Structure 1
């Protein structure tokens, strides 16, 4: 190798060292929109408190053993939608559109029927560190309520096969906690009524439910109550109010 060739190589090496030194520690030359994303089909074992957060980082567990969550979808979020801070209405709408079909397929029920079963839906976004690394994903999970905890999920999907049996049906305790109807309960989900569009209003929902729930409860129900749509769910397009009776 000639002296001039060595000079070119040395210059190239010096430029690489200079470029590497200019990058901040841990920086990547190409952002990864799936940085830290879980795999679809993974099972997790986390608590109801963990479910309330926007990010969840428990390790995957064997789906044949006890588990409280099943990852049913992972999708990349468009860059126009912010992933940090309080979830925006735009992000909520994206989650609703993206997760709805995988949620319903795993549960084995229509969207309307999902209000009558003990199974529930969760979603999570990347951590701040993952977002900094370029992550742009959201994760859709399925869980089951069991009083003040998350219940163990069935091993196989869909969870509901054919009609909704007592182990799948949503009931409420005296304190209004959700349990499967095979557990001790005070209220049993009977049906769903669809509220009219308009601005979010607790009073309007209550007035509507008082008129319509009597049409879906059973004769054995001496009393009834209803489960309103939350403001966040209303903004994402949800309009179903669940009616409960106390007839056993």
Structure 2
């Protein structure tokens, strides 16, 4: 049995040697980086806050418990509207690059972890003051919550530690770390080489065919990238083997 797992352009899922990216600043902006966060800054963010367009809570000490860390800050190009589809594409591409840089993982390897990305734009008040930036955050998914980030973000070589490995839990098959209770474990990430983004029926066929030999249980699952992910080069099919936990 197989089932598609939903993915999000804002999340999907990050940071170890963060980077700052500068794109052409907005013309006439007094300070495009007005109140922008600093790369490496940590936050005690909730899962619900990860889905908000902006996040303006105070930073926390990275030496203590925290659930998010800024991996990149980019100045937006002149003329790019905050509600433009191009912003999502820019954000996903920028944040995925920062995710790999931070964790030291490859495009396929990162898909076998529970690390995810989140991105935020300035608040309306910050935009009114000229802010034109985008921030990327690294988080570690834990079902309906975010799991505190480890002290060392680098994942090393596969197989990764249970504390960062990607598993599925609950009836909704939410992504969590394999250190938590789970029912499926990500065992393979396969690059799909189709020239065009496959339709859902094609994805199901591809997943069934490719994951059959990449899993070790009679029942397995798989997930595929969103259209935005595909457009920026993120084309991994993830296969999940059923576990007894």
- Same fold flag (TM > 0.5): yes
Deviation per CA, 1:54-86: give whole Å up to 9, x if none.
Answer: 211111001111111000111111113212x3x
Within a 5 Å distance, the mapping from 1:220-239 to structure 2 comes to: 221-239=217-235
User: How high is the TM-score relative to the length of structure 2?
Assistant: 0.81
In structure 1, C-alpha distance between the alignment counterparts of 2:197 and 2:99, rounded to whole Å: 27
What is residue 194 of structure 1 aligned with on the other side? 191
Greater Cα shift, 238-247 or 145-154 = 238-247
Aligned partners of 1:61 and 1:189: how far apart in 2? 32
RMSD: 1.8
Equivalent residues, number: 214
Contact 2:121-2:133 within 8 A present in 1 as well:
yes
Find the aligned partners of 1:204 and 1:62 in 2 and give their Cα distance: 47
Unaligned runs of 5+ residues in structure 2 are 1-27
| Counterpart residue number, 2:72 | 73
What is the alpha-carbon distance in structure 2 between the residues aligned to residue 47 and residue 80 of structure 1? 32
Q: Deviations over 1:173-217 (max 9, x none)?
A: 132012211221110001112332314522221111111111321
What is the aligned partner in structure 2 of residue 122 from structure 1? 118
CA distance in 1 between partners of 2:189 and 2:29 (Å): 48
For 2:214, which of 213, 216, 224 is the aligned residue?
216
Alpha-carbon offset, residue 99 of structure 1: 2.5
Q: Quick one: structure 1 residues 156 and 199, their matched pair in 2 at CA, closer, same or farther if it must change by over 3 Å?
A: closer
Q: Tell me by how many angstroms 1:125 deviates.
A: 1.0
TM-score normalised by the chain length of structure 1: 0.80
Q: Which has the higher contact order (CA 8 A, sep 6+)?
A: 2
Q: Which residue of 1 aligns with 2:58?
A: 59
Distance 1:228 1:100, change over 3 A: closer
CA contact (8 A) 1:197 1:239 kept: no
Bigger Rg over Cα: 1
| C-alpha distance in 2 between matches for 1:99 and 1:108 | 14
Shift of 1:30: 5.8
Q: SS of the counterpart of 2:170?
A: coil
Displacement of 1:235 in angstroms is: 4.1
Q: Which whole-Å CA distance do the structure 2 matches of 1:41 and 1:193 have between them? A: 31
1:36 corresponds to 2:35: yes
Decide whether the 8 Å contact of 2:182 with 2:243 is kept in 1. no
More helix by share: 1
1:183 paired with 2:180, answer yes
Q: Please tell me whether the aligned partners of residues 222 and 247 of structure 1 are also in contact (alpha carbons under 8 angstroms).
A: no
Q: Secondary structure at the match of 1:162?
A: coil
